[in-house]
Structure 1
C-alpha cells in the first residue's frame, strides 16, 4: 500500500510542477497576446483606446501588469474551474472549444497508429529475437532506417507515390468537406481514407524502434536460467517463446508504450502539417506562432495530464504484476 501512496504522491507533485512550468514558459516568450489582438484590430480599421486594452486584458484572463504571483494564483484557480481562457489565434473561441474540436482527430489518428506500430514492432521483434543470426535479422536495418528518416520527408514520399502518382488517397485534409461531420458510414469512410497516409507515415517511422528494442530484449532474455530450465523440461519452443521469453522481454516495451500513448495527445506536428490534418499538432504550432498564451497552456495541460496519467497507470500496473517493484520502492 505504501508503494501506491508514494507513487500517487509523486505524480501529484509532478502535476503541480508541470502546471507551474506551463504558466511560466509562455510568459518568457517575447511579445504580448493583447498587443497581437490590438494590432489585428487596428489592421481592420478599429480604434485602440486604453479602455479597449483593459477590456481585452480582462477577456484574456487578467491584467498582464499585475504581479506574476497574482497571475499565477488566478491561473491555478481558472484551471481547476475548467476555464482555460480565450484563444487569441481563433478569437473569440474559448480554448476548450478549440481543443475539443481537434483532440478527437489526433487521438484517433495517432492513437491507432501508435498501437499498430507497437503491436507490429513487438511481434516482429519477438520473432526475430527468437532466432538471432538468421535471415530475419536482415530485416532490422531496413526498419530502423525508416525510423531515421525525417517525418516530413517520409510523408512527402507517401504523398507523391499514393496521392499524386497513383491517386489512391487524398493528400490533404481530414475528411471530405462536402460531408456533414457525424457518425454516418459515409463520413467515417471518408475520415479513414483521408487518415490512411498520415497513419502510415507514423507507423513506418515508429515500427523500427519497437522491433529493435524487442529483438535486443529477446536476445538478452534467451540467456536467462529460466529459459534453459524450460528447455530442459522439454517444453515446446512455441510455449517457451510465448510464456517465458516474450512475456519477460516485453516489460520494457510496456513502459515505452505508456509514454508513447501519453504523447498521443500532443499529436505529430510535422505529419499533421504536411497533410493539413485538423489535429492538435497544427493548433499547437499556430499557438506558438501567435504567442497565444491561453491556447499554449491549454494544449500543454492536456499533454501533461496524458503523459502523467499514462505513466501513473503503468507504475501502478507494474506494482501489481511484479512484486519486486514494490520491494525495491
Structure 2
C-alpha cells in the first residue's frame, strides 16, 4: 500500500508540473490569439472595437493582457470545470469538441499499429535472441534500418508503390466521403481500408526497435545463472524460452509498450499530414501554425495525462511482475 501511495503522490506532483508547463509554454510563443482572431474578423469585413476585443478575450478564456498569475488561476479554474476554451483554428468550435472528433481516429490507427508492431517485434526478437546467428538474427540490422528512415519518406514510398503504381489502397483520407460516419460495417471497413497505409508506415518504422530491444535483452538474459541451471536440469528448450528467458527479458518491452501507448494520443503528425488523415496530429499542427493557445493546451493536456497514466500503470505493473521493484521503491 505504501508503494502505491508513494507512486500516486509522485505522479500527482508530476501532473501539476506538467499542467503548469502546459500553461506557460504556449504563452512564450510570439503572437496573441485574440489579435489573430480579430485580424481574421477584420479580413472578413467585420468591425473591430475595444468591446469586440474584450468579448473575444473572454470567449477564449481570459485576456492575455492580464497578469500571468491571473491567467494561470483562470486556466486552472476552467480546467477543473472541464472547460478548455474555444479553438481559434476551428472557431467557434470548443476545444473539447475538436479533440473528441479527432482523437478516436488517432487512437485507433496508432494504437492498433503500435500493438501489432510491439507483439510481432517482441516475438521475433525473442526467437532471434534465443538462436543467435540464425537467418532471423541476421535480418535484425536490416529491420533496424527502417527505424532510421524518416516517417515522411517511408510514407511517400508506400503511397507511390502501393497506391500510385499498384492501385491497391487510397493515398489520402480516413474513409470514403460518400459514407456517413457511424458504427456500421460499411463505414468501419472503409476506415480500415483507408487506414491500412498509415498503419503500415507506423508498423514498419517501429518494428525494428522492438525486435532489437527484445533480442538484446534475450542475449543478456541467456547468460544468467538460472538459465544455465534450467538447462543443466534438462528442461525442454521451449519451456526455458517461455517461462524463464522470455518472461524476464520482456520486462523492458512491457515498459516501452505502455509508454508508447501513452504517446498514441499524440498521434503521428507527419504520417497524418502525408495521408491527410483526420487525426489529432493534424489538429495539433494547425494549432501551432495559428498560435491557437486553447487547442494547443488541450491537446498537450490529453497527451500529458495519457503519458503519465501509462507510466503509472507501468510502475504498478512492475511492482506486481517483479516484487524487487517494490523493495527498492
TM-score above 0.5: yes
Task: Provide Cα deviations, 1:195-241, integer angstroms capped at 9, x if missing partner.
Answer: 00000000000000000000000010000011011111111101100
The CA distance in 2 between the partners of 1:136 and 1:117, in whole Å, is: 16
How far the C-alpha of 1:317 sits from its partner, in A, is: 1.0
Corresponding residue number in structure 2 for 1:145 = 145
The CA distance in 2 between the partners of 1:58 and 1:136, in whole Å, is: 61
Corresponding residue number in structure 1 for 2:322 = 322
Corresponding residue number in structure 2 for 1:79 = 79
Corresponding residue number in structure 2 for 1:222 = 222
Task: Provide Cα deviations, 1:73-117, integer angstroms capped at 9, x if missing partner.
Answer: 110111111000000000000000000000000000000000000
Corresponding residue number in structure 2 for 1:177 = 177
The residue matched to 1:189 in structure 2 has which SS?
Answer: helix
Task: Provide Cα deviations, 1:97-151, integer angstroms capped at 9, x if missing partner.
Answer: 0000000000000000000000000000000000112222211011001111000
How far the C-alpha of 1:63 sits from its partner, in A, is: 1.5
Corresponding residue number in structure 2 for 1:167 = 167
How far the C-alpha of 1:174 sits from its partner, in A, is: 0.3
Q: Does 1:250 align with 2:250?
A: yes
Q: Does 1:27 align with 2:35?
A: no
Q: How does 1:1-329 map to 2 (within 5 A)?
A: 1-329=1-329
How far the C-alpha of 1:66 sits from its partner, in A, is: 1.2
The CA distance in 2 between the partners of 1:286 and 1:310, in whole Å, is: 26
The CA distance in 1 between the partners of 2:209 and 2:217, in whole Å, is: 12
Q: What value does the CA root-mean-square deviation take over the aligned residues?
A: 0.6
The residue matched to 2:284 in structure 1 has which SS?
Answer: helix
TM-score (norm 2): 0.99
The residue matched to 1:263 in structure 2 has which SS?
Answer: helix
4+ residue runs over 6 A deviation: none
The residue matched to 2:129 in structure 1 has which SS?
Answer: helix
The CA distance in 2 between the partners of 1:309 and 1:80, in whole Å, is: 18
The CA distance in 2 between the partners of 1:215 and 1:319, in whole Å, is: 24
TM-score (norm 1): 0.99
The CA distance in 1 between the partners of 2:321 and 2:236, in whole Å, is: 25
The CA distance in 2 between the partners of 1:64 and 1:201, in whole Å, is: 41
Task: Kindly tell me the number of residue pairs found equivalent between the two proteins.
Answer: 329
How far the C-alpha of 1:320 sits from its partner, in A, is: 1.7
The CA distance in 1 between the partners of 2:77 and 2:293, in whole Å, is: 16
The residue matched to 2:264 in structure 1 has which SS?
Answer: coil
